[in-house]
Amino acid sequence: MYVIMLGAPGAGKGTQADILSQEMELPHIASGDLFRRALEERTEVGLLAKKYMDKGELVPDGVTVKMIVERINQSNCAPGCIFDGFPRTLQQAKVLDEALGKEGKNIDRAIYIQVPNEELVKRLSGRWLCRRCQTPYHMVNSPPRAPGKCDKCGGELYQRSDDKEETVKDRISVFFNQTVPILDYYQEQGKLVRVNGNQGMQGVAEEIISALKAGIK
Ligand code: AP5
Ligand code: MG
């Protein structure tokens, strides 16, 4: 099963993709995490992506699509995967359909996690992430058991440089201008599910899982 998590910055895509990935035993493919890893490794893609990420802008489609297509061609994506943060433009959505179509596969569901803008800003300002496994925490909503350490792998927690208030505002407006148009693309194919992201993490997860189960005949 191939599932896409859509939502504004801070909506909970990463949080819910992690839960779903464990529940469904499918890999979690996060474009932002792949770019941040590439930057840590100082690769050409990572250094290029940084220029856009620092400004809250989208990395060009050609670079992004190439990175994702390489990832989904790896054997552990054969049974499916959970996409988080990809696709983000109509062009990316179409290329993804083509790449899956070549293997006789397709997107099953696109989940849109809806959260009001003022809540997004609160979530991002309190977010800490594991440097090693990228698990997100929140200082108020989901603090780690030991301060500064990841519960899952013991990695060091850090705050993302693009979570500064000015960059967050730019990222939110990029989402509404460039990504919201793809909601119609999935709606027209009967694949879009809207869930209320403005509730506890478990409540959001339950809505998503029941929507996916309802879709499996
Ligand atoms: P990316 O890393 O994808 O960032 P984003 O879309 O801005 O989203 P976030 O990761 O900030 O939020 P999230 O929805 O994952 O929320 P989370 O679960 O962490 O992209 C970063 C950059 O990379 C982009 O700006 C762009 O430059 C580039 N990029 C990436 N993909 C690209 C693409 N396809 N094309 C071009 N460029 C691309 O949750 C947030 C916080 O809230 C956490 O602290 C969490 O604990 C908390 N939380 C989560 N759920 C709840 C809840 N229900 N209640 C209370 N708190 C909650
Ligand atoms: Mg994320």
Q: Which amino acid is at 208?
A: I
Contact criterion met (CB below 8 Å) for 207 and 15: no
CB of residue 59 inside a 6 A radius of ligand 1: yes
Residue 195 lies in a domain: yes
The predicted pLDDT at position 165 comes to 86
Residue 138 lies in a domain: no
Mean pLDDT lowest among 11-20, 39-48, 145-154, 162-171: 162-171
> What DSSP assignment string belongs to 101-114?
HHTT----EEEEEE
Residue 125 lies in a domain: no
Mean pLDDT lowest among 32-36, 151-155, 187-191, 210-214: 210-214
Residue 203 lies in a domain: yes
Residue 194 lies in a domain: yes
Distance 5 CA to ligand 2 centre (A): 10
| 11-26 mean pLDDT | 96
The residue to mutate among 65, 127, 137, having the most atoms of ligand 1 within 8 angstroms of its beta carbon, is 127
The predicted pLDDT at position 215 comes to 67
Q: Which domain holds residue 35?
A: 2-116+172-216
Domain CATH number, residue 178: 3.40.50.300
CB of residue 109 inside a 6 A radius of ligand 1: no
State pLDDT tens for residues 54-111: 999 999 999 999 999 999 999 999 999 999 999 999 999 999 999 999 999 999 999 9
Is it the case that residue 216 has pLDDT exceeding 70?
Answer: no
Distance 162 CA to ligand 2 centre (A): 12
Contact criterion met (CB below 8 Å) for 119 and 202: no
Q: What residues act catalytically?
A: 13, 88, 127, 160, 171
The Cα 167–Cα 183 span in angstroms is: 23
The Cα 48–Cα 59 span in angstroms is: 8
For the whole model, what pTM was predicted? 0.95
How many structural domains is the chain composed of? 1
Residue 130 lies in a domain: no
| 162-172 mean pLDDT | 92
Residue 99 lies in a domain: yes
Considering only CA atoms, which residue is closest to atom 34 of ligand 1? 86
Phi, psi of 144 (to 5 degrees): -70, 160
Distance 12 CA to ligand 2 centre (A): 7
